[in-house]
């Protein structure tokens, strides 16, 4: 491509990984790449390093150099954007792009899922959150971060199973195959599990979710209760959007396919496949093709700012 061509960057920065996608003016994908977590909860500098690592890898795939970033407009979806001090910290970062607009990763996913139109998503991944768009307003539900929030997420599922495994180790609860496997990961030593928990992040807890889901699908009673609880939490968010008049709903995130069968038949019937992903939503922002929604209340986390 020509050295003076404008390009667009979409970033989906989540709690587990960061994805970068670069497109040309015609929407043709030039390069895509992934890196590690990009959430403000691991620190702004670490999150920014993940963003740049993914961007540089995608640029290399596209045949672009660092000098080409000066003609690249970036839309950056970032997990944990609503944390206190996030805007000020990101403003201090000198980015190399022609422009950069930061939004929450949830808003990026919602924009991508419904091509910028009114609708809502519930994210079921390392964390969980509900984001809806209606009449130019953003409605955000939950998603305040693990462990105080993010019910139904992979991290929450992991936390529940560790707690129940410790109970089983004390014979305060039943020892099922699921709990035996989890305790086995700690050599059946509760204090080893406690030591692990003192350093564990949300992504570490979320790594246990596939084990829980596997046992739940095999009929493990504790696994089933944990997954049913998670599905109830996700279903509650979907119901709240329906109550607000949003009937275009999608479930997204790394656990979406695994959680969907555990939802009520009515909610499963209402779900629609997302049009595109969060990187596509971030690209809509990078291209300036839509006005970002206004926050419904002060605690809503979607924010727009330039750095």
Report pLDDT digits (tens) over 160-202.
Answer: 999 999 999 999 999 999 999 999 999 999 999 999 999 999 9
116-119, long-range: CB < 8 A, 24+ apart: 116/281, 116/284, 116/289, 116/290, 117/248, 118/246, 118/248, 119/246, 119/248, 119/249, 119/250
Check residue 132 and give left, alpha or beta (phi > 0: left; psi -120 to 50: alpha).
beta
- Give which of 121, 131, 149, 120 is closest to 233, Cα–Cα: 149
Report helix, strand or coil for 57. Answer: helix
What's the rounded Cα separation, in Å, for the pair 278 and 189?
40
Residue matched to tokens 């246990």: 208
Residue matched to tokens 């003192």: 198
Question: Taking a C-beta distance cutoff of 8 angstroms, is the pair 127, 148 a contact?
Answer: no
- Give which of 195, 267, 259 is closest to 227, Cα–Cα: 259
What's the rounded Cα separation, in Å, for the pair 251 and 259?
9
What's the rounded Cα separation, in Å, for the pair 121 and 179?
32
Q: Could you count the other beta carbons within 10 Å of the beta carbon of residue 4?
A: 7
The predicted pLDDT at position 244 comes to: 94
Low-confidence ranges of the chain (pLDDT < 50): 1-2, 297-307
Alpha helices in 71-217 (DSSP H): 86-91, 105-113, 154-169, 177-184, 190-197, 202-206, 209-217
The predicted pLDDT at position 305 comes to: 34
**Structure-token pair, residue 276:** 């595109």
Q: In terms of DSSP bridges, do strands 18-23 and 29-35 run parallel, antiparallel, or are they unpaired?
A: antiparallel
Q: Which helix or strand (DSSP H or E) is residue 64 part of?
A: none
The predicted pLDDT at position 289 comes to: 74
Q: Report pTM.
A: 0.84
The predicted pLDDT at position 292 comes to: 72
What's the rounded Cα separation, in Å, for the pair 135 and 201?
37
Signed CA dihedral, 144, 43, 209, 77: sign only:
positive
| Residue ranges of domains in the chain, CATH in brackets | 7-115+276-295 (3.30.420.40), 117-274 (3.30.420.40)
The predicted pLDDT at position 91 comes to: 73
Report helix, strand or coil for 8. Answer: strand
């Amino acid at each position: 491509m020509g050295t003076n061509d404008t390009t667009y960057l979409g970033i989906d920065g989540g709690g587990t990984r960061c994805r970068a996608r670069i497109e040309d003016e015609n929407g043709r994908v030039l390069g895509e790449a992934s890196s590690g977590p990009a959430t403000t909860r691991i620190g702004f500098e670490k999150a920014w390093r993940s963003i740049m690592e993914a961007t540089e890898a995608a640029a290399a795939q596209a045949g672009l150099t660092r000098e080409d970033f000066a003609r690249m407009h970036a839309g950056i979806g970032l997990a944990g954007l609503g944390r206190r001090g996030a805007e000020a910290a990101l403003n201090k970062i000198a980015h190399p792009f022609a422009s950069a607009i930061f939004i929450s990763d949830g808003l990026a996913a919602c924009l991508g899922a419904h091509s910028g139109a009114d609708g809502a998503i519930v994210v079921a991944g390392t964390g969980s959150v509900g984001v809806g768009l209606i009449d130019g307003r953003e409605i955000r539900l939950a998603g305040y971060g693990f462990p105080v929030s993010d019910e139904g997420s992979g991290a929450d599922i992991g936390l529940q199973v560790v707690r129940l495994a410790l109970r089983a180790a004390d014979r305060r609860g039943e020892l099922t195959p699921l709990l035996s496997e989890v305790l086995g990961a700690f050599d059946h030593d509760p204090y080893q599990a406690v030591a692990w928990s003192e350093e564990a992040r949300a992504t570490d807890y979320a790594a246990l979710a596939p084990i829980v889901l596997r046992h739940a699908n095999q009929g493990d009673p504790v696994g089933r209760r944990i997954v049913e609880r998670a599905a109830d939490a996700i279903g509650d968010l979907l119901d709240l959007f329906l109550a607000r008049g949003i009937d275009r709903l999608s479930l997204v995130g790394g656990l979406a396919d695994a959680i969907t069968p555990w939802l009520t038949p009515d909610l499963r019937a209402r779900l629609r496949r997302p049009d595109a992903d969060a990187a596509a939503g971030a690209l809509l922002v990078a291209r300036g093709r839509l006005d970002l929604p206004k926050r419904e209340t002060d605690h809503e986390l979607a924010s727009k700012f330039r750095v």
